[in-house]
């Protein structure tokens, strides 16, 4: 017996969401034997983007029953059934959270049609409900409403049942009642974590760090470790007894800290490679010619006037970007190309080379002394990464503008960081992808 389920939630912070609409179709493998469709008063505000997506607003829910008024009906219609949903982990978590608020431990086996469709229809362009339904000719109406999505999931599930002739795959994909749900200890650990940018540390019973990572949302990321499937997830779920964290405000600081601390502490479940993070470079130096010709090459290290990239394709994409942004002459990219400025009064070599130098200056930290400013950990605070003569020095936090422009103050308040080729690669890669950081040039 199956209970095909879809939930529309209010959105909001993790584990603070509420159910505002639910649809359940009890299905015996041949036909629907019972159904329950209901708007629910979530007793909390709906996030604006959710209201826009679903068309459900706070006014519509004022006279709707509250969750405790329909809880018994949900228990009855799902009794003895496997919950089936598209992205079942989300719906099951939200449902269990609502029951937990009532002091009731709601447990059911679950089956996710995302996982099932990936096994039975592996070549599908997308496994999202909408795109999968379209590609399979499944009619959909009332998209992003509980019953519309539940009916589409039911039709998809019927199709998947037919494909899984011996039902062996369904057995593999069906999850136990507690799978994907946090234990009381894990719930307590996640509850204490902030939804902030930083580095998190997972400790075993001895207090040793067994895994550390960086993220823009510490609470969400740790929860994923506790609910994901896979060998690493299972090991972390079994061995983690405590989670600590450091809020950095800045994503770049979090990336640098995670890299350096992994190198230093070598947690047992982090893959800590001694290799360089980059595989190719773009060489900005003249190669025995008048022109500075930008060349992509496989590299053993970051030498002066070279910029690192993780992969050949990434390097060529960057050259294409530079060509558009700085209007580089083809002769600066391809050695055999004719210079388009050949007859200009400024001279082809000077004009072309100046553009290449400008491009390198913008995206390289080589030889520079500067502070990279980013978000702080709280309102009124800014984070900084201090670079001196092209080398990473450390990071810190300031509240007063005059602190930023003084190298001696920055050196006295910063937390030192080790500089190597990989930290340079990390910083330059981040600068290429993020225009949000403010750069303050400093005079040594």
Contacts 24+ apart (CB under 8 A), 347-351: 348/291, 349/290, 349/291
Confidence of residue 345 (pLDDT cuts 50, 70, 90): low
69 and 144, same domain (yes or no)? yes
Provide the pLDDT for residue 179.
56
Work out how many domains the chain is built from and give that number.
Answer: 4
84 and 141, same domain (yes or no)? yes
Please say which residue of 331, 363, 395 terminates a domain. 363
User: CA 331 → CA 40, 55, 327, distances in Å?
Assistant: 66, 56, 11
Provide the pLDDT for residue 235.
92
Provide the pLDDT for residue 175.
66
pLDDT digits (tens, 9 = 90+) for 53-74: 888 888 899 899 999 999 999 9
22 and 148, same domain (yes or no)? yes
Contacts of 128 (CB under 8 A, 6+ apart): none
Q: Choose the most confident range, by mean pLDDT, from 249-258, 298-307, 356-365, 375-384.
A: 249-258
106 and 146, same domain (yes or no)? yes
Query: Measured in Å, how far apart are the chain's first and last C-alpha atoms?
Result: 73
291 and 157, same domain (yes or no)? no
Please say which residue of 319, 344, 363 terminates a domain. 363
Q: Tell whether the model's pLDDT for residue 347 goes beyond 70.
A: no
| Higher-scoring residue by pLDDT: 170, 92 | 92
Query: At which residue do the structure tokens 């080398």 appear?
Result: 391
Beta strands in 343-437 (DSSP E): 370-375, 382-388, 391-398, 415-416
Q: HEC profile for 83-100? A: EEECCHHHHHHHHHHHHH
Is there a domain that residue 341 lies in? yes
Is there a domain that residue 38 lies in? yes
374 and 359, same domain (yes or no)? no
Domain that holds residue 33: 2-173
Structure tokens at 427: 């910083």
Is there a domain that residue 178 lies in? no
199 and 291, same domain (yes or no)? no
Q: Tell whether the model's pLDDT for residue 343 goes beyond 90.
A: no
Provide the pLDDT for residue 341.
56
Average pLDDT for residues 129-149, to the nearest whole number? 86
21 and 92, same domain (yes or no)? yes
CB 278 within 8 A of CB 308: yes
User: CA 421 → CA 275, 425, 431, distances in Å?
Assistant: 11, 6, 15
Is there a domain that residue 125 lies in? yes
425 and 375, same domain (yes or no)? yes
**Residue 169: its H or E element:** helix 168-173
Contacts 24+ apart (CB under 8 A), 215-222: 215/254, 216/251, 216/254, 218/193, 218/194, 218/245, 218/247, 219/14, 219/190, 219/193, 219/194, 219/195, 220/14, 220/195, 222/189, 222/190, 222/193
Q: Tell whether the model's pLDDT for residue 177 goes beyond 70.
A: no
Q: Tell whether the model's pLDDT for residue 342 goes beyond 60.
A: no
Provide the pLDDT for residue 6.
94
Provide the pLDDT for residue 199.
97
Is there a domain that residue 285 lies in? yes
Provide the pLDDT for residue 144.
84
Is there a domain that residue 230 lies in? yes
220 and 146, same domain (yes or no)? no
Provide the pLDDT for residue 29.
85
Q: Tell whether the model's pLDDT for residue 275 goes beyond 90.
A: no
77 and 134, same domain (yes or no)? yes
User: CA 149 → CA 143, 194, 219, 361, 386, distances in Å?
Assistant: 6, 32, 28, 52, 51
The mean pLDDT value of the chain amounts to 86
Is there a domain that residue 14 lies in? yes
Confidence of residue 215 (pLDDT cuts 50, 70, 90): very high
Structure tokens at 239: 């061995």
Range from 319-323, 332-336, 387-391 carrying the lowest mean pLDDT: 332-336
Provide the pLDDT for residue 16.
77
Provide the pLDDT for residue 289.
60
Cα–Cα distance for residue pair 55/74, rounded to 1 Å: 24
Q: HEC profile for 39-60? A: ECECCCCCCHHHHHHHCCCHHH
Provide the pLDDT for residue 287.
59
133 and 12, same domain (yes or no)? yes
Is there a domain that residue 273 lies in? no
Nearest to 442 by CA among 371, 363, 393, 391: 371
Q: Hey, CA dihedral for 273, 275, 279, 284, is it positive or negative?
A: positive
Q: Tell whether the model's pLDDT for residue 421 goes beyond 60.
A: yes
| Higher-scoring residue by pLDDT: 288, 386 | 386
With 0.75 as the threshold, say if the pTM is over it: no
Please say which residue of 241, 265, 289 terminates a domain. 265
Provide the pLDDT for residue 224.
84
Burial class, 279, CB count within 10 angstroms (exposed 0-12 / middle 13-18 / buried 19+): middle
For residue 372, the SS3 value is strand
């Amino acid at each position: 017996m199956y209970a095909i389920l879809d939930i529309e939630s209010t959105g909001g912070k993790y584990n603070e969401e509420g159910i505002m609409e639910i649809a359940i179709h009890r299905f015996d493998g041949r036909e629907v034997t019972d159904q329950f469709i209901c708007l629910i008063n979530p007793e909390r505000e709906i996030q604006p983007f959710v209201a826009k997506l679903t068309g459900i607003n706070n006014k519509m829910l004022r006279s709707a029953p509250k969750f405790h008024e329909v809880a018994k009906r949900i228990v009855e219609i799902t009794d003895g059934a496997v919950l089936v949903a598209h992205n079942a982990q989300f719906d099951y978590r939200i449902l269990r959270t609502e029951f937990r608020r009532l002091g009731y431990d709601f447990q059911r086996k679950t089956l996710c049609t995302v996982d099932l469709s990936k096994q039975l229809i592996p070549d599908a362009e997308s496994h999202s409900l909408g795109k999968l339904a379209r590609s399979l000719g499944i009619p959909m109406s009332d998209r992003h409403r509980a019953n519309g999505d539940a009916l589409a999931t039911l039709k998809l599930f019927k199709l998947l049942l037919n494909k899984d002739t011996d039902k062996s795959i369904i057995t593999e994909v069906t999850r136990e009642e507690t799978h994907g749900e946090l234990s009381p200890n894990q719930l307590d650990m996640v509850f204490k974590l902030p939804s902030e940018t930083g580095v998190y540390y997972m400790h075993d019973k001895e207090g040793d760090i067994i895994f550390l990572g960086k993220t823009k949302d510490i609470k969400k990321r740790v929860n994923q470790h506790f609910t994901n499937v896979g060998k690493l997830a299972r090991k972390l779920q079994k061995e983690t007894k405590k989670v600590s964290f450091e809020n950095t405000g800045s994503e770049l600081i979090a990336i640098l800290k995670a890299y350096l601390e992994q190198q230093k502490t070598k947690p047992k479940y982090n893959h800590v490679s001694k290799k360089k993070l980059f595989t190719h470079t773009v060489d900005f130096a003249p190669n025995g010619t008048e022109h500075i010709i930008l060349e992509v090459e496989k590299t053993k290290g970051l030498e002066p006037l070279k910029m690192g990239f993780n992969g050949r394709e990434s390097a060529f994409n960057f050259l294409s970007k530079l060509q558009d942004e700085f209007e580089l002459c083809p002769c600066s990219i391809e050695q055999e190309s004719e210079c388009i400025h050949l007859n200009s009064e400024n001279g082809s070599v000077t004009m072309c080379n100046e553009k290449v130098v400008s491009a390198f200056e913008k995206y390289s930290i080589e030889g520079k002394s500067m502070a990279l400013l980013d978000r702080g950990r709280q309102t009124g605070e800014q984070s900084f990464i201090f670079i001196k003569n092209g080398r990473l020095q450390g990071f810190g936090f300031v509240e007063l503008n005059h602190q930023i422009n003084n190298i001696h103050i920055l050196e006295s308040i910063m937390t030192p960081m080790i500089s190597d080729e990989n930290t340079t690669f990390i910083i330059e890669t981040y600068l290429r992808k993020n225009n949000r950081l403010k750069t303050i040039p400093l005079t040594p």
